[in-house]
Amino acid sequence: MHVDMDAFYAAVEVRDNPKLVGKPLIIGALPSERGVVATCSYEARKFGVHSAMSIKEAYRLCPNGIYMHPNSHKYKEASDKIHEIWDVYTDLVEYVSLDEGYLDLAGSVNLFGGAKKIAHEIKERIKNEVGLTCSVGIGYSKMSAKLASEEKKPNGFFEIPSAEFLKNLIINRDIRVLHGVGKKTANELHSFGIKTVHDIYDKSELVIDILGNNGRQIVEFAKGIDNRKVTPFADAKSIGTEQTFQKDITNFQFLKDNLVLMANDLSFDIQRKGIFAQTVTLKITYADMKQITRSKTGETINYAEDIFKTANELLNKIERHAIRLIGISLSNLSSSECRQITFEDTYKTENKEKLNDVMFKLKQKYGVDSIKNANVLDVQKRLNKEEK
């Protein structure tokens, strides 16, 4: 099963402000600012506005739209609740992004009365408990499930039960419909006159000649063959979060404050899954678009303060030019902690564990914002001021 929320960021804003219902709403930046559209409501899509378009272009198409900055924290909180609902139905969930995921139901489908029933229950629960709509697709493979969820968007449900069914559905569509065919690959194939999925069957040898192994994979996808497995979070290679700024940042305190919040989010995420990380990677994109990453591998950790400490150490070592994006990712993930505890720090460690445990349980029960360390409150205050 593939689940994808409808107009996710925009839908969260509409949920929280009834005045926005039915309006063209564009999330990203204000018309006077530089920036791109993160997403927009379906009303705004009628004007041709879409994700990744510049705000300037969006404003030209839709001057009467309502423009807003994203509120990442709110989307994360909604996402956590949504992920928890998915978790009820199987422990094989691959979270693709905040609003999208694959559920492998092979082992649990009978337990819950069938895939269709699960799909409707998930839609119902997300509507009632989170106040949002989503589109659900059922398939026999990842690609078919994803295509099924896109088929009847928004608030849709569709099933693609077999390769034969999939082939008939997409045969006359543009090759972009296939997993792995992005803009660049599509342009390349278009220049050889390969435009539809049908053309891929007809000219499969040519596709393989042009694209090599990648072409072989695309031909398989066109035939409906897709053996990719749903990879649960615990088996993931890394987990990360990043933040792009509206304006380039030279204030390192501001960057540090952002790292504190990101470390908190990541920490909660991995604790929820019982995961520890050994490597922390800091990702930076400078104002001139130059990208760097810096990593440090040490003890297995999952506390926010440990993640922050390592990320901050890495930040202190980089060149200090204006920065456009900052991110942290965690890798070398495992489900158990293995570290040396010296006799001296046993007492300190025990208290830290108790505190962490209580805070984690409160967050799980009442939401990520229900309890915070004083330092996080300070940081949030500072960041709010900075934004004003």
- Give me the active site residues, please: 100
Among residues 1, 2, 3, 7, which is the contact residue for ligand TTP, using CB under 6 A?
7
Among residues 100, 257, 265, 269, which is the contact residue for ligand TTP, using CB under 6 A?
100
Q: Enumerate the β-bridge partners of residue 135.
A: 4
Question: Measured between alpha carbons, how far is 2 from 207 in angstroms, rounded to an integer?
Answer: 28
| Segment (H or E) for 291 | strand 291-301
Question: Measured between alpha carbons, how far is 171 from 176 in angstroms, rounded to an integer?
Answer: 12
Count, residues near Mg ion per rule CB under 5 A: 4
Residues written for the chain? 388
Greatest C-alpha distance within the chain? 71
Q: Is 8 in the site for ligand TTP (CB under 6 A)?
A: yes
Residues with Cβ within 8 Å of residue 305, at least 6 apart in sequence:
263
Count, residues near ligand TTP per rule CB under 6 A: 14
Q: Is 130 in the site for ligand TTP (CB under 6 A)?
A: no
Among residues 1, 29, 39, 137, which is the contact residue for ligand TTP, using CB under 6 A?
39
Q: Is 43 in the site for ligand TTP (CB under 6 A)?
A: no
Contacts to Mg ion from residues 79-138, by CB under 5 A? 99
In the complex, least distance from residue 177 CB atom to Mg ion, rounded to whole angstroms: 17
In the complex, least distance from residue 123 CB atom to Mg ion, rounded to whole angstroms: 14
Q: Pseudo-torsion of CA 225, 229, 230, 231, nearest 10°?
A: -150
Q: Is 240 in the site for ligand TTP (CB under 6 A)?
A: no
Q: Which does 52 bind (CB under 5 to 8 A by kind): ligand TTP, Mg ion, none?
A: ligand TTP
Q: Is 154 in the site for ligand TTP (CB under 6 A)?
A: yes
- Cβ distance 39 to 27 under 8 Å? yes
Question: Which among 88, 151, 92, 78 has a CA at the least distance from the CA of 117?
Answer: 88
In the complex, least distance from residue 4 CB atom to ligand TTP, rounded to whole angstroms: 5
| Segment (H or E) for 184 | helix 183-190
369 phi, psi to nearest 5 deg: -90, 0
Contacts to Mg ion from residues 2-21, by CB under 5 A? 4-5, 8
Closer Cβ to Mg ion, 11 or 261, answer by number: 11
Q: Is 330 in the site for Mg ion (CB under 5 A)?
A: no
Q: Which does 51 bind (CB under 5 to 8 A by kind): ligand TTP, Mg ion, none?
A: ligand TTP
Q: Is 183 in the site for ligand TTP (CB under 6 A)?
A: no
251-254, long-range: CB within 8 Å, 24+ apart, which pairs?
A: 251/386, 252/315, 252/320, 253/382, 254/382, 254/383, 254/386
In the complex, least distance from residue 91 CB atom to ligand TTP, rounded to whole angstroms: 24
Binding site for ligand TTP (CB under 6 A): 4-9, 38-39, 51-52, 99-100, 153-154
Binding site for Mg ion (CB under 5 A): 4-5, 8, 99
